[in-house]
Every structure is written in structure tokens, then in C-alpha cells.
């Protein structure tokens, strides 16, 4: 599935455009998460789309821009196939899901955090961009300044932020554009 030597997982945080600026992402296998949008004037490459299978989105728009589907929610395999008409190409297993929840100490991680973990399982260098772990009241998406982050009690993004920072400190994960 992956011919490139590095993986880039792109979140949808407001930092994404600045982190992608002047970066040649063609050298990466690029994973986009959930409801991403093209950024005008940028390379909008998407090799894999990782998402929670919402039933009211334009799947065709995404499928026209990507080759592979990643399913970061083990229990959603059938929902994905039903909603989209396509089976995922890569899905996190039940054991990997359990292991990640234990490592993270969080039973309900975001699609983005699970996508990062899935990429790390593929034994290639993994880079991230567009993950800001928004604090309540801050801009949430790079493409819509009106949407503000709310209360993240459900996903506990502060736990995910700590885990991501630990992975970066331990050299297991890299922030795009940071040496």
C-alpha cells in the first residue's frame, strides 16, 4: 500500500496551512483525517482518508481525492462499508485498539490520534501536521475561523497532546517542519 518512505498524518487544526507551507509532501504517504478541505495554493495530496463514517457527508468528493480508506474505529468496519459502499483498506484491529486505549489511558480517543497510532504501526517514520489540540474557545479548523473548540471532556484531548509530545520526545513521531 505504501511506496513512500515516510508517512504524514494531517489533522484539521488551524496550524495545518503554516506547517505545510514550503514543504514537498509528495515524498510522503499522506493521510488526511475526517472532514478535510483543499487549501488553496497548496499541494492537497491525500493517499489515505481516515474518518469516522458519518452518514451525511459527500463521500464521492473524498473518494475522488484518495486511493485508500483507513478506518481508525475497529467497530465501524461494517458501518463504513454500508455508508460508503467501500470496505476499508486498513483498519485498526481489536487488539491494537485495546493496546492503544491502555497506552493512552483513554477509552475514547479522536480519529486523529488513532490515525497517528495506526501510522506508527506501519514501521515507517511518521510526521504530523495540523494537530493543535485546541483549547476551548480557540479556532478548531484551519478552514473555518468561526468554529471554536468546545469542551473536550469526551475525547480528553489533553491526554492525546501529552501522548503525542511523549512520542516526539522519544523520537517515535515527528512534527512536520521541526528538526
User: Could you tell me which of 57, 56, 83, 58 has the C-alpha nearest to residue 71?
Assistant: 83
Domains, the chain: 6-175 (3.90.1480.10)
Please tell me which residue, 176 or 140, carries the higher pLDDT value.
176
Output the CA torsion sign for 45, 48, 50, 56: positive
By DSSP bridging, strand 28-33 and strand 174-175 are: unpaired
Q: Is the pLDDT of residue 134 over 70?
A: no
Does the pTM surpass 0.75? The reply is: yes
pLDDT in tens, 85-97: 899 999 999 999 9
- Dihedral of CA atoms 12, 77, 174, 32 in degrees, nearest 10, equals -30
Give strand ranges (E) for 11-166. 28-33, 48-50, 68-71, 90-91, 126-129, 139-141, 144-148
Of the two residues 58 and 128, the one the predictor is more confident about is: 128
Distance between CA atoms of residues 10 and 26, nearest Å: 14
Write the pLDDT tens digit of every residue in 14-56: 889 999 999 999 999 999 999 899 999 999 999 999 998 877 7
Q: Which three cell numbers stand for residue 109?
A: 480517543
109: which residues sit within 8 A by CB, 6+ positions away? 100, 101, 155, 156, 160
pLDDT (0 to 100) of residue 11: 92
The three cell numbers of residue 77 are: 468496519
Q: Which residues pair with 45 in a beta bridge?
A: none
Amino acid at each position: 500500500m505504501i511506496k513512500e518512505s515516510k508517512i504524514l498524518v494531517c489533522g484539521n487544526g488551524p496550524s495545518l496551512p503554516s506547517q505545510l507551507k514550503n514543504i514537498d509532501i509528495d515524498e510522503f504517504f499522506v493521510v488526511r483525517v475526517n472532514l478535510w478541505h483543499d487549501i488553496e495554493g497548496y499541494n492537497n495530496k491525500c493517499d489515505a482518508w481516515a474518518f469516522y463514517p458519518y452518514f451525511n457527508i459527500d463521500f464521492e468528493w473524498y473518494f475522488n481525492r484518495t486511493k485508500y480508506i483507513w478506518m481508525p474505529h475497529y467497530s465501524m468496519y461494517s458501518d463504513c462499508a454500508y455508508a460508503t459502499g467501500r470496505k476499508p483498506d486498513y483498519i485498526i484491529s481489536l487488539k491494537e485498539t485495546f493496546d492503544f486505549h491502555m497506552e493512552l489511558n483513554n477509552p475514547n480517543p479522536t480519529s486523529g490520534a488513532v490515525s497517528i497510532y495506526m501510522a506508527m504501526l506501519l514501521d515507517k517514520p511518521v510526521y504530523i501536521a495540523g494537530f493543535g489540540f485546541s483549547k476551548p474557545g480557540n479556532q478548531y479548523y484551519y478552514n473555518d475561523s468561526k468554529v471554536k473548540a468546545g469542551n473536550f471532556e469526551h475525547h480528553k484531548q489533553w491526554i492525546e497532546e501529552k501522548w503525542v509530545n511523549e512520542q516526539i520526545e522519544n523520537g517515535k513521531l515527528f512534527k512536520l517542519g521541526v528538526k
